[in-house]
């Protein structure tokens, strides 16, 4: 068989399956020739003929990437410099599946936004989440410096339309390589927390009920996020008893003062760290642990202009 006859046979095989490469084409040729008791064709010849007659698949154009720094640390020191995103799925009691994707601030682990979909999250969902996150943090303005958008290499995140949209709204898409030691561990940990503490126990008879309770779960997790590193359970109990919807600034102030008093009794002090915002400082004998307050609480403190010295006894008297 000369090359012209082989080309005709190859074109016949790929006419219905144009996405097949030379290895699959060779498999189809071998199967067809075996039925007619004809000898098989070497795979190298199939590759050469398809290359000479421009029948090979076009190589995927590599998307412009960014230099990766293998620092092994996802958390950052300031808000709105890096956000991470991931998703998870669960089934409702009626068997319906619900897919959820979310965005976190890698500074204080505050959930910025989330989107739920019944058919798995797509590129449209990711773009909606990006726009919602930017609007929530920056209003109608774009970030002065691009905010890193950290995610895995899922198709919804790596789609060219999604990456282009991210740059248009002031985000810098960064993805983890497949099977790489680099991981989106902060978002993965958040998924485990949501599934363990909320999804496993909340009512989810159908999608509508699940979405309503997910909104409550995200709100509750956001408010309680800064208590997760505490070693004192009393502050957690007080916070769980004081989760009302504040109607005025005075209620917010009383809530914060009650929290600080309990935290002080538990061995914590409130410390100001300049532009980085306020931090709770736990001071056991053997080590010091830091736990950053969510941006929402810090904004309340700045709005109320609470004086750490005059308004509350912030520091523990030893």
Task: Give the domain extent around 141.
Answer: 82-224
Same domain, 195 and 120: yes
Is 215 domain-assigned?
Answer: yes
Banded pLDDT at 165 (limits 50, 70, 90)? very high
Digit-coded pLDDT (tens) for 62-102: 666 656 555 567 778 888 899 999 999 999 999 999 999 99
pTM of the predicted model as reported, rounded to 2 decimal places? 0.54
Cα torsion for 178, 183, 184, 189, to the nearest 10°?
120
Is 310 domain-assigned?
Answer: no
Q: How far is it, in rounded angstroms, from Cα 88 to Cα 195?
A: 9
Same domain, 132 and 233: no
Mapping DSSP onto H, E and C, the string for 195-256 reads: HHHHHCCCCCCCHHHHHHHHHHHHHHHHHHHHHCCCCCHHHHHHHHHCCCCCCCHHHHHHHH
Element (H or E) spanning 278, and its range?
A: strand 278-282
Is 183 domain-assigned?
Answer: yes
Same domain, 97 and 180: yes
Which of 183, 202, 178, 179 shows the shortest CA–CA distance to 100? 202
| Residue 120, domain CATH | 3.30.420.10
Count: domains in the chain: 3
Q: How far is it, in rounded angstroms, from Cα 76 to Cα 306?
A: 26
Q: How far is it, in rounded angstroms, from Cα 232 to Cα 267?
A: 8
Q: How far is it, in rounded angstroms, from Cα 279 to Cα 185?
A: 23
Same domain, 188 and 258: no
Last residue of a domain, one of 224, 255, 277: 224
Last residue of a domain, one of 168, 196, 224: 224
Cα angle 292, 111, 120; round to 5: 150
Digit-coded pLDDT (tens) for 232-276: 333 333 333 443 444 455 555 555 555 555 444 444 444 444 333
The residues with which 101 forms a beta bridge, in sequence order, are: 87, 115
Digit-coded pLDDT (tens) for 5-57: 999 988 888 886 677 888 888 888 888 888 888 888 999 999 999 999 988 88
Structure tokens, 225: 């996020």
């Amino acid at each position: 068989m000369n090359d012209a006859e082989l080309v005709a046979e190859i074109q016949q095989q790929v006419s219905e399956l144009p996405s097949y490469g030379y290895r699959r084409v060779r498999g189809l040729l071998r199967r067809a020739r075996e039925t007619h008791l004809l000898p098989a064709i070497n795979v190298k010849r199939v590759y050469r003929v398809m290359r000479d007659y421009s029948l090979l698949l076009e190589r995927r154009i590599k998307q412009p990437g960014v230099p990766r720094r293998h620092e092994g640390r996802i958390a950052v020191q300031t808000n709105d410099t890096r956000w991470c995103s991931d998703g998870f799925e669960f089934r409702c009691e009626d068997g319906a599946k619900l897919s959820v994707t979310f965005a976190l601030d890698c500074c204080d682990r505050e959930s910025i936004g989330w989107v739920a979909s019944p058919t798995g999250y797509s590129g449209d969902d990711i773009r909606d989440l990006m726009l919602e996150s930017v609007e929530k943090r920056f209003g109608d303005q774009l970030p002065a410096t691009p905010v890193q958008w950290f995610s895995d290499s899922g198709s919804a995140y790596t789609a060219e339309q999604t990456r282009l949209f991210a740059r248009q709204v002031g985000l810098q898409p960064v993805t983890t390589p497949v099977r790489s030691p680099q991981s989106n561990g902060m978002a993965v940990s958040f998924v485990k927390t949501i599934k363990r503490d909320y999804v496993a126990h909340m009512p989810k008879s159908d999608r509508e009920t699940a979405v309503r309770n997910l909104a409550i779960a995200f709100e509750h997790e956001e408010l309680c996020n800064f208590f997760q590193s505490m070693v004192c359970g009393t502050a957690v109990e007080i916070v769980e008893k004081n989760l009302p919807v504040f109607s005025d600034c005075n209620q917010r102030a009383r809530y914060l003062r009650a929290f600080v008093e309990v935290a002080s009794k538990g061995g914590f002090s409130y410390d100001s760290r300049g532009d980085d915002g306020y931090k709770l400082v736990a001071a056991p004998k053997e080590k010091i642990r830091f736990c950053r307050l969510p941006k929402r609480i810090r904004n309340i403190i700045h709005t109320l202009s609470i004086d750490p010295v005059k308004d509350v006894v912030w520091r523990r008297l030893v």
